[in-house]
Amino acid sequence: MTGPWEYEPAPESREVADLKPNYRMFVGGEFVDGGGEPIRTINPATEAVLAEVSSADTGDVDRAVAAARNAFDGTWSKMPGKERAKYLFRIARLIQERGRELAVLETLDNGKPISEARDVDVPTAAAHFFHHAGWADKLDHAGFGANPRPLGVAGQIIPWNFPLLMLAWKIAPALACGNAVVLKPAETTPLTALVFADICAQAGLPAGVVNIVPGAGDIGAALVAHSDVDKVAFTGSTEVGKEIQRTVAGTGKRLTLELGGKAANIVFDDAPLDQAVEGIVNGIFFNQGQVCCAGSRLLVQESVADELLGKLRERVSALRVGDPMDKNTDVGAINSAEQLSRIRELAEVGESEGAQRWSSPCELPERGFFFAPTVFSEVQQSMRIAREEIFGPVLSVLTFRTPEEAVTKANNTPYGLSAGVWSEKGSRILWASQRLRAGVVWANTFNRFDPAAPFGGYRESGFGREGGRAGLEAYLDV
């Protein structure tokens, strides 16, 4: 062997995904053809068509809501919590049993590295069902008074960045609390939701309790506006979230929103630097940075800025960018051509605004939607790359001199989803954690998720929580 030791390609088997040429929507316990224009979902790593998915039209939304209403009135809301719990346990087990299939399918449809789909998305999705299964028969103890009632039919709209996991975050608490759901997966990533539908069927879940209606934004809008929907839950962009809030305004529907972010990751000069570098890398390059809580603004204390940036560039250069199906890939494909062009556009804006652009010298595949991990230094608070959510593998680095300045800069955004703090000094961490206006603060770690830990935003990052006791409130009439 000549040159540095390179690992051979280690591709996961595509066969495991059991990919079918056609997928159909799931309404009233049946897989049916929708009236909408079929969606051709592609593999963002190759741009090849994966499958054709029938999509819903507004009549299908009506039928799905009616099926959910029937299921809610007829069986699900009357079923004792301990029985609902067992369905959720079954679903959790089935996700585990079919974990490899789901992980591979997710990677094919989304472009995320197989190691992440396998080690994060799928197990965390199963964990959400396990956790919420246990709540179904303990709602009396959740702190909302005796016998809290479900809301009814929940219309749920999820994004493409964590298709199965976001589905789990939505469906598990809704079902545990006794609601029926109509869920619209993202247009570019409908496949795992439809395999989940099959899991519901395998679990023997009563027909209509879960309905999956693939489609584009118009179908989401129809679901939100539907008069027989009692609750709307949305995860996605702040722009669409505002539109949904406007639609729901004055209708009496309950609403929870989990929207965008521009999280600050603050590194103090006494931080455990090597772990901070890992946290920064995880914070902005996990899932190609397509994470609402991504640590997209690095705020580093001036006295360690050069040292940290040196270590960071070295570490980012070592990231393995490429085929998402390769088990050794760290950074996979951007989910769509549209998203890739938005990332490119904002990166160009960053350059024209005068920030210093540095990108990993990695080679990118010729086909597919890829973007090299990029770090902008000398970013100022006023620049667009410091204010707008890029939703891609692009980090903006700013510096600060005092703790007060760090927190002020961190809070200087309309968003408030997450934040990171790195310091070996306990009192400073607790001080910063209190002062940061963000729903999740990761101290000396980043991007940790757990069904027992509430997640959600302040300000324009949305309202309502997912996970834990607090997350139940979104699906109970309390």
Partner 1 sequence: MADMPFDLDDAVRDDRSLRRFLHGLPGVDQVGLEQRSAGLATRSVKKSAKRWAIDTAISMVDLTTLEGADTPGKVRALCAKARRPDPEHPDAPPVAAVCVYSDLAEVATEDLAGTGVRVASVATAFPSGRAPQAVKIADVEHAVAAGADEIDMVIDRGAFLAGRYGQVHDEIRAVKRACGEAHLKVILETGELATYDDVRRASWLALLAGGDFIKTSTGKVSPAATLPVTHLMLQAVRDWHQVTGDLRGVKPAGGIRSTKDAMKYLVTVREVAGPDWLTADLFRFGASSLLNDLLMQRRTQLQGHYSGPEHVAVD
Partner 2 sequence: MSDVPGRLAVAKTYKLYIGGKFPRSESGRVFPVRGADGAFLANAAHASRKDVRDAVSAARKAFGGWSGATAHNRGQVLFRIAEVLEGRREQFAAEVSAAEGISHDRSLSAVDTAVDRTVWYAGWTDKLATVLGTTNPVAGPYFSFSVPEPTGVVGVLAPQDSSLLGLVSVLAPVIAAGNTCVLITSAERPLPAITFAEVLATSDVPGGVVNVLTGRAGELGPWLASHADVDALDPTGADQELRGELARSAADTVKRVLSARREPDWTADPGLRRLREFTEIKTVWHPVGT
Verify binding: residue 468, partner 2, rule CB under 8 A: yes
Gap between the Cα atoms of 102 and 467, Å rounded: 22
- Backbone φ and ψ for 458, nearest 5 degrees, come out as -100, 165
Verify binding: residue 249, partner 2, rule CB under 8 A: yes
Verify binding: residue 409, partner 2, rule CB under 8 A: no
Q: From the candidates 12, 116, 187, 258, which is the catalytic residue?
A: 258
CA separation, residue 209 to residues 30, 69, 200, 467 (Å): 12, 8, 9, 21
The answer to whether residue 258 is catalytic is yes
With CB cut-offs between 5 and 8 Å by kind, which of partner 1, partner 2, none does residue 456 bind? partner 2
CB 132 within 8 A of CB 475: no
Window 144-163: residues binding partner 2 (CB under 8 A): 145
Separation of first and last alpha carbons in the chain: 66
CA dihedral 257, 384, 216, 241 (to 10 degrees): 20
Window 78-117: residues binding partner 1 (CB under 8 A): 115
> Toward partner 2, which CB reaches closer, 148 or 206?
148
> Toward partner 2, which CB reaches closer, 152 or 241?
241
Window 319-338: residues binding partner 1 (CB under 8 A): 327-328
CA 169 to chain centre: 9
Gap between the Cα atoms of 433 and 423, Å rounded: 12
Least separation in angstroms between CB 309 and partner 1? 10
Gap between the Cα atoms of 317 and 166, Å rounded: 30
Verify binding: residue 6, partner 1, rule CB under 8 A: yes
Where in 39-165 does DSSP place strands (E)? Answer: 39-42, 49-53, 153-157
Task: Name the one range near partner 1 by CB under 8 A: 31-39, 40-48, 274-282, 404-412.
Answer: 274-282
Least separation in angstroms between CB 6 and partner 1? 6
Verify binding: residue 9, partner 1, rule CB under 8 A: yes
Cβ-proximal residues to 69 (8 Å cutoff; 6+ apart), any chain: 152, 153, 180, 228
DSSP string, 231-279: EEEEES-HHHHHHHHHHHTTS--EEEEE-----EEEE-TTS-HHHHHHH
> Toward partner 1, which CB reaches closer, 279 or 368?
279
Q: Pattern of binders to partner 2 over 19-48, x per CB under 8 A?
A: ------------------------------
Q: What is the DSSP letter of 455?
A: B
Verify binding: residue 249, partner 1, rule CB under 8 A: no
Number of shown-chain residues binding partner 2 (CB under 8 A): 49
Verify binding: residue 238, partner 2, rule CB under 8 A: yes
Cβ-proximal residues to 164 (8 Å cutoff; 6+ apart), any chain: 102, 106, 121, 122, 125, 192, 193, 196
Q: What is the DSSP letter of 53?
A: E
Least separation in angstroms between CB 314 and partner 1? 9
Helix (H) or strand (E) holding 160: none
Gap between the Cα atoms of 101 and 36, Å rounded: 27
Window 396-435: residues binding partner 1 (CB under 8 A): 424
Least separation in angstroms between CB 286 and partner 2? 15
Gap between the Cα atoms of 339 and 392, Å rounded: 8
> Toward partner 1, which CB reaches closer, 307 or 348?
307
CA 116 to chain centre: 13
Task: Name the one range near partner 2 by CB under 8 A: 66-74, 167-175, 237-245, 319-327.
Answer: 237-245
With CB cut-offs between 5 and 8 Å by kind, which of partner 1, partner 2, none does residue 270 bind? partner 1
> Toward partner 1, which CB reaches closer, 96 or 445?
445
- Plot region of 282 (φ>0 → left; ψ -120 to 50 → alpha; else → beta): alpha
Window 291-320: residues binding partner 1 (CB under 8 A): 304, 306-307, 310, 318
With CB cut-offs between 5 and 8 Å by kind, which of partner 1, partner 2, none does residue 260 bind? none
Q: Helix axis angle, 163-176 relative to 81-97, nearest 10°?
A: 160
Alpha helical stretches, state H, 19-80? 58-71
Least separation in angstroms between CB 240 and partner 2? 11
Q: What is the DSSP letter of 459?
A: G
Least separation in angstroms between CB 442 and partner 2? 5
Task: Name the one range near partner 1 by CB under 8 A: 148-156, 257-265, 271-279, 364-372.
Answer: 271-279
**Which one of residues 126, 164, 248, 271 is an interface residue with partner 1 (CB under 8 A)?**
271
Least separation in angstroms between CB 261 and partner 2? 12
Verify binding: residue 279, partner 1, rule CB under 8 A: yes
Verify binding: residue 254, partner 2, rule CB under 8 A: yes
- Show which residues are catalytic: 258
Q: Tell me which residues touch partner 1 (CB under 8 A).
A: 1, 4-10, 115, 119, 270-275, 278-279, 304, 306-307, 310, 318, 327-328, 424, 444-445
Q: Tell me which residues touch partner 2 (CB under 8 A).
A: 127, 143, 145, 238, 241-243, 245-246, 248-252, 254, 257, 259, 414, 429, 433-434, 437-445, 448, 450, 452-456, 458-463, 465, 468-470, 473, 478
